[in-house]
Amino acid sequence: MLVELSDDFVKELIKLADNLNGNKLKILLSRKTWEFFDQCHCASRITNGLVSIGANRVIDVVNLTEDDLLKVINLGRKSIWDIKRTLKGANLRLGMNIKEEDL
């Protein structure tokens, strides 16, 4: 049995889904760096390196560039690859330039 949905109802569903996705992104970006990378089984040197430069939350990490990370002591190309891979798994990337006000 098929049910026809009104255009207004579909628009409301899409709006609700967008709000849920926005809230998920806000929650994800506000998570502590160590918690996010530890859950993804990254080496502690990655978390320690990020925290040492003040990247205490995921939003701080996604606002960094690869060049920024190359300047961090104990973070080499492999560590940066792990960071990028972990962020990609959450549909994030380096250099996103996200401001907290925009969330």
Query: What SS3 state is found at 98?
Result: coil
CATH code where residue 49 lies: 1.10.150.20
Both tokens of 48, joined, read 């320690």
Domain of residue 88: give its range.
Answer: 32-98
Q: Is 13 within a domain? A: no
Residue 103 lies in a domain: no
Helix (H) or strand (E) holding 6: none
Beta-carbon count within 10 A of 62 CB: 20
Q: How many domains does the chain have?
A: 1
Query: pLDDT in tens for each of the 103 residues of the chain?
Result: 455 656 665 566 556 555 555 566 666 777 777 777 777 677 888 888 888 999 888 889 999 999 999 999 888 999 999 999 988 888 889 999 888 777 6
pLDDT at 17: 58
Q: Is residue 24 part of a domain?
A: no
Kindly state whether residue 39 falls inside one of the protein's structural domains.
yes
Instruction: Specify if 4 maps to a domain.
Output: no
**Model pLDDT for residues 11-20, shown as the tens digit of each residue:** 665 565 555 5
Give the number of other CB atoms < 10 A from CB of residue 103.
13
Q: How high is the pLDDT of residue 4?
A: 62
